[in-house]
Structure 1
Amino acid sequence: MRAAEEGEFDAFFRQQYPALVLHLVAQGESLQTARDAAQEAMVKACQWWQDLQEPIPWVRLTARRCAWRNGRREGQRRVKEQHALAQRPVAEASPEDGLVMREEQQRVIALLHGLPSAQQATVAYAFDGYATKEIADRLNVSEATVRSNLRHARRQLQGWLAARKQQEADADDR
C-alpha cells in the first residue's frame, strides 16, 4: 500500500470504525462481538483498499458476515451485555471504542434489541441514512420488505415508548 493510500485508509478507519461498531450493536450484536467483527472487516478492507469502490457499504457487509460466520452470537451472554450497556451510566462508556453514547442512545439500542433481527438490520441502516433502495440492496430483500420492516419496527418502538412514558408518569404521580 502506498503512503497516500495508507493515509486515506487511516482516515477511513478512524471515522468509520466507531460507526461500524455502533451499526453492528444496533443490529443485535454484543459490544465485544461488534468490535471483533468490525476489526476483522477493517483488516480485510485494508488488504483490498485499492480495489474498493464503495468502502463504507463493503466494510459494513463484511463485518456483518464476519459476525455471522464466526458464530459469535452467544444468547445469554449477549442479553446480559445489552442489559448492562443499557443500564450503564454514560460516564462509564469506554473511550477506546469511540462510542460516546448518550443515555437516549443507550435506551434506543436497548429497545432495538427487542426487535426481530430483520427489523434490527433494517432500522440500523435507516439510522445510518441509507435510502430504502440502498437498504434493500444491502440486505438482499425487496424495497417493500424494507418499508414493511420499518413500519413494523416503528409501531413496536412507539408502543414500547408509550408504555415507558406511562410508567414514568405513574411513578411521578406516586
Structure 2
Amino acid sequence: MTRNRDPLNLKSLPPLEAPDGLWSDIESALDARSGSGSAPRRGWVPLAMAATVAALALSIALLRGTYGPVPASPDDGIDPLIRLQAVSSALESQLEDYRYGAVSASTADSVARLEQELAWLDVQIEQSPYDPVLWAERVALLGEINQRYIRSDWRSEMMLASY
C-alpha cells in the first residue's frame, strides 16, 4: 500500500513571495508603535516578575524552614496565608492571559507537566487549606508557569527579530 505524502497536491503550487515593501511596512508599523508607547499590555510584566521573585523567595524560606510563621509587616496587618492566597489569585489571573495563546511545542509540553503538578497540589490544598507551605508551593509553581509563557511569547520574539 503506497502512502500519498501530498494528498492535497500542495507541492504543485507555485512558491509564494512576499509583496514588495511588506517588511519595510512591518518595520515602520513596529517603529510607530514603539514610538507611541502603545506596546500591548506590557507595563505589568516587570511588576509581575517582581511579585514572582518575592513569592519564590518566600516559598524557598518556608520550604527550608528558616522561618517559623512568616512575619507580616507591621504596617499591613495581613495574615501571611491571606497574602499567599492573594498572590496566588493574581498569578492565576495573569495566567489566564496566556493559557490560550500560541506557544512552541517544548513550552506546551513543559507547561502541561507543570499544570499537572499544579492540579496535584490543588488536591493537597483541598485537604489542608490552611497550610502556608502548600500555598507557597502553589505561588512558586504559578510563577514558573507564567515565566514559561513570558519567555515563549512569540510576539516579543517577532518584534526583536524585526530590528
TM-score range, shorter chain: 0.3 to 0.5
TM-score (norm 2): 0.33
In our comparison, the structure showing a higher alpha carbon Rg is: 2
Q: Which has the higher helix share?
A: 1
